[in-house]
Amino acid sequence: MAPTDNDVRVGVVGAGYAGLRAAMAARAQGAEVTIYDPTGAHEFATRLAAVAGGRAPSGDGWADAQDLTGVDVERVAVDQVDGAGPALHLEDGRTEIFDAIVVAGGARPAFPAVPGAERHTLTLKTTADALAIRRELIEADHVIVVGGGATGVQLAAEAAHRHRHLAVTLVEAASRLLPIFPAPLGHRAQKLLERRGVDVRLDTAVDAITADAAHLADGTELEGLVIWATGFAADGSALLPGVPTRDGRLLVDRDLRVPGTIAVFAAGDIAAHNDLFGCPLPMSAQIADRAGAIAGRNAARMARGLPTSPAVLVDLGWVVAMGRDIGVAQVGPLRLASPLTDRLVPLLHDLIDIRHLFQVGGVNAVVAHGAGRHRPERSMIRRIERPQIRSVS
């Protein structure tokens, strides 16, 4: 006999975009939901560059996930997911058994084989990262951002605009910025950055990083604070050993269930999502948001013995806000990459942010956690403020 609504328990690993949406969708199906996350904080990834650059207040980077959603959150790391349980083995030694699980653990900064990169650079993935960069920029004279994707472009723009004393260099190995986006977006982003005084260096590889410099393949040495922004990588096998992965991301069926498991689903950066044509989808907040909702709904329905539905995921585009008044974007067929549309992009970014808040917490979340509104107590900040350790020797 399938369990009744009140009997169904769904565990969610991670409080990111996919995790929160999964939790809300499972709860909407009548499930009892618990989120497991080491800090219990929901990171607003699309706001972190503004926090790091110093334009946005430090509270903009995150919100308490339980306060945001009303879902129970346990501040503990998950060591491993038992796909045969399904169950979660927690860092504190406990094992929690569920009717279904959604794994939405996210990704971490990726470091290629560049000597010194991991040891001597800062990265931007969490609020703690953003706060570490924020502190360093106050004292820095020169910052070198390695990586001309969305994160690098946003961070370089914010740093140059807020800190007029600061020399900013953006280094990208490809022949243009935003290399996975349509070419006009990269070209426009370069013009906007150069207008703000950023030294953009394309077709430039980094050979090594030392405590106070980036060494380029052409023999140039750039002295200053180095921030690594070349992308992110997931390690799904760390949570689910032996399960098939693609580039570290968990393979999933059409309904986002992890093959070979019992009622374990995956969504967000840790899952290898495909579009309607079977093409791999990139790691992005908008993909994680929609995939999380589908995974959470399917997890609760499978636990109740009801049919699941296939995930229909499409890359809707990208919004790259480069400060309060400029940016570039691709939304479906609509391209915003001209002087006439520069100011529209930050507005679009804010609307998407408000929509996300409303989806996970309703009007109260929009009012309490909209940009510029979150004023956390110092004790709450200490909970998520885990400074990066950058070797300077």
Distance from C-alpha of 313 to C-alpha of 6, rounded to nearest angstrom: 30
The answer to whether domain 5-38+76-107+234-303 and domain 109-232+317-369 are alike in fold is: yes
276 burial (CB, 10 Å; 0-12 / 13-18 / 19+) is: exposed
Q: What is the pLDDT of residues 291-346, one digit of tens each?
A: 999 999 999 999 999 999 999 999 888 999 999 899 999 998 899 999 999 999 99
CA distance 87 to 162: 47
Instruction: Evaluate the omega torsion of the peptide bond into residue 86 and state whether it is cis, within 30 degrees of 0.
Output: yes
How far, in Å, are 189, 191, 308 from residue 184 at the CA level?
8, 11, 40
* pLDDT for residue 106: 82
Half-sphere exposure at residue 180, Cβ-oriented, CA atoms within 13 angstroms: 17
Residue 2 is predicted with a pLDDT of 45
Least confident of 5-9, 324-328, 350-354: 5-9
Q: Which CATH superfamily is 5-38+76-107+234-303 part of?
A: FAD/NAD(P)-binding domain (3.50.50.60)
- With cut-offs at 50, 70 and 90, classify the pLDDT of residue 112: confident
- Of 134, 235, 154, 231, whose CA–CA distance to 198 is shortest? 154
C-alpha span between 335 and 348 (Å, rounded): 13
Angle at 278 between CA 276 and CA 280, to 5 degrees: 105
Residue 352 has pLDDT above 70, yes or no: yes
Q: Write phi, then psi, for 319 (nearest 5 degrees).
A: -125, 115
**Is residue 213 within 8 Å of residue 204, measured between CB atoms?**
no
Domain boundaries along the sequence of the chain: 5-38+76-107+234-303, 109-232+317-369
What class is the 109-232+317-369 domain?
alpha beta
Percentage of the chain beyond pLDDT 70 is 93
pLDDT in tens, 21-41: 999 999 999 999 999 999 999
Calpha distance 58→51 (Å, rounded):
6
* Structural contact between residues 5 and 21, judged by C-beta atoms closer than 8 angstroms: no
Q: Residue 152: how many CA atoms within 13 Å on its side-chain side?
A: 32
CB 193 within 8 Å of CB 152:
no
Helix, coil or strand: residue 208: strand
Determine the angle formed by the axes of helices 344-369 and 285-303, rounding to 10 degrees: 40
Interatomic CA distance for residues 99 and 349, integer angstroms: 37
